[in-house]
Amino acid sequence: MSEPTNTGTPQVPETAAPEDTKRTPSDFLKSVLGRPAVVKLNSGIEYRGVLACLDGYLNIAMEQTQEFGLDGQLKATYGDCFIRGNNVLHISSQAKRKTGL
């Protein structure tokens, strides 16, 4: 409950400098929306597909998703899929290895 002291620095510094340096995780996620992404789960399974949408729990909806097992082999494909957020280890934007079916 302390007084807002000082200089009036905005809590979210928009002044931050060349766009890319001060980005929040959620800025990153927004930038991946609609793009190819790799989602890795705690179990080690990876999903590659187009990130359709996300929510605050990191629940994910993906399109044209390919599932890769621990050995890197393609295990399954899904037109649409929902991934429950608690299983998500990381989300990465690169779309390397666009393996065919």
Q: Which residues bind another protein (CB under 8 A)?
A: 41, 43, 52-55, 59-61, 78-84, 86-87
**Shortest distance, position 84 Cβ to another protein, whole Å:** 5
- Decide: 13 and 22 in contact? Cβ < 8 Å: yes
Please state, in angstroms and rounded to a whole number, the distance separating the CA atoms of residues 84 and 58: 7
Nearest to another protein of 9, 43 (CB atom): 43
**Shortest distance, position 100 Cβ to another protein, whole Å:** 17
CA triplet 98, 87, 53: central angle to 5 degrees?
60
Identify the H or E element spanning 81.
Answer: strand 74-83
Nearest to another protein of 16, 70 (CB atom): 70
Nearest to another protein of 37, 83 (CB atom): 83
**Shortest distance, position 19 Cβ to another protein, whole Å:** 26
**Shortest distance, position 97 Cβ to another protein, whole Å:** 20
Nearest to another protein of 9, 26 (CB atom): 26
Quote the longest CA-to-CA distance of the chain.
60
Please state, in angstroms and rounded to a whole number, the distance separating the CA atoms of residues 68 and 66: 7
